[in-house]
Amino acid sequence: MKKIIYSPGEPSGIGPDLIIQLCSMPFWEKINVPVICLADKNLIQDRALILNKKIKITLLKDINNVNSNKLGVIQVKEISKCKITKPGKLYKSNAAYVIKNLDYGIDQSLELNTSLVTGPISKENIITINKNFSGHTEYIQKKTNSNDVLMLLGSKKLRVAIATTHVPLKQVAKLITKKLIINKATILHDELINKFKIKNPRIKLLGLNPHAGEGGKIGTEEKNILEPAVAELKRRNINISMPLSADTAFTKKILKSTDAYLGMYHDQVLPVIKALSFGNTINITLGVPIIRTSVDHGVALDIAGTGMSDTSSLEEALLAAKRMM
């Protein structure tokens, strides 16, 4: 039976809230794929009490013995105990709990060919026990021994991928190489075909500098790196544009002729998709041997436990995970 594993992420945030709220909505049965929540039973019970939600928890000894979703019922697999279940504040003692759940989700996705959906994590908290942690994307790459990885955010309105992910802006230019662009664009092209079923993906490449360097007058990365990379990609029959100026790349006309954008850095493309589709956007990890989708928002400590969490992004992440299986 096909199934989806949900790792709620930071226990003090809204990750647990989302699954509790969602299991009481018609969507829970309509998705027609069992969802297994990796969590401490006490955390889910305590949070449901705070949210004033009446739910039933079914503890799973073996995730292969999972049943169809039933309204008000969450199927839980306990991997580790959560030290502190209170919402709204980060606790260092919970960091290892988050990683243990994530590790199990990745391992089972590799072994059983399930889909993994992740809730929001706090990098700040995990860094207290793992200084090298920089995010889900890089962590999954390492855990799956993948040569390269690509972060893509998608919605019904557009898809954007990022050549560099969670790095300081001052380091971006040093990381942009011909090899990097070729690798990232190739992953994007192949995964648009394999996971999104797009026969001939149309990719728009964004320049690094204002006005895409303006012929070398405002930076030379486009002329010296990006354009040679595009030439090589075209020789490989990949439909990718020459570097475009990011300030005009998202017009309605260009959007209509684009299946995905490849941006150079995090804040070049994410503000655009979040401005257009926040709450209905999902994060997808490409280039790895598992299906992993995620919500598009953070842990939202300020609203955890209040019942104000919006389940829209989690719904989209679950639907995407189901489609890609």
Ordered by start, the domain boundaries in the chain are 1-146+289-325, 148-287
Tell me the CA distances in angstroms from 52 to 21, 34, 44, 59, 100, one per residue in order: 10, 24, 12, 21, 28
Q: Is the dihedral of CA 31, 33, 34, 40 positive or negative?
A: negative
Identify the DSSP state of 203: E
**HEC profile for 49-75?**
HHCCCCCEEEECCCCCCCCCCCCCEEE
Instruction: Decide: helix, strand or coil at residue 88.
Output: coil
Instruction: Decide: helix, strand or coil at residue 15.
Output: helix
In DSSP terms, 295 is beta-bridged to 282
The one-letter code for the residue type at 309 is S
In DSSP terms, 76 is beta-bridged to 37, 59
The one-letter code for the residue type at 175 is L
In angstroms, the first-to-last Cα distance of the chain is 11
Q: Is 178 exposed, middle or buried (0-12, 13-18, 19+ CB in 10 A)?
A: middle
Give the pLDDT of the chain (325 residues) as one tens digit per residue: 799 999 999 999 999 999 999 999 999 999 999 999 999 999 999 999 999 999 999 999 999 999 999 999 999 999 999 999 999 999 999 999 999 999 999 999 999 989 999 999 999 999 999 999 988 999 999 999 999 999 999 998 999 999 998 889 999 999 999 999 999 999 999 999 999 999 999 999 999 999 999 999 999 999 999 999 999 999 999 999 999 999 999 999 999 999 999 999 999 999 999 999 887 899 999 999 999 999 989 999 999 999 999 999 999 999 999 999 8
Chain-centroid distance, C-alpha 234: 28
**At the topology level of CATH, where does 1-146+289-325 sit?**
Isopropylmalate Dehydrogenase (3.40.718)
Which pLDDT belongs to residue 204?
Answer: 98
The matching CATH number, chosen from 3.20.20.150, 3.40.718.10, 1.10.510.10, 3.20.20.110, for 148-287 is 3.40.718.10
Which pLDDT belongs to residue 279?
Answer: 79
Question: What tokens appear for 244 in the block?
Answer: 């475009």
Domains 1-146+289-325 and 148-287 belong to one CATH topology: yes
Query: Do 71 and 32 touch, CB atoms closer than 8 A?
Result: no
Closest of 28, 78, 81, 83 to residue 58, by C-alpha: 78
Which pLDDT belongs to residue 280?
Answer: 87
Q: How far apart are CA 182 and CA 159, in angstroms?
A: 18
Q: How far apart are CA 163 and CA 155, in angstroms?
A: 19
Please tell me the number of Cα atoms within 13 Å of 308 on its side-chain side. Answer: 9
Long-range contacts of 217-222 (CB under 8 A, 24+ apart): 221/173, 221/176
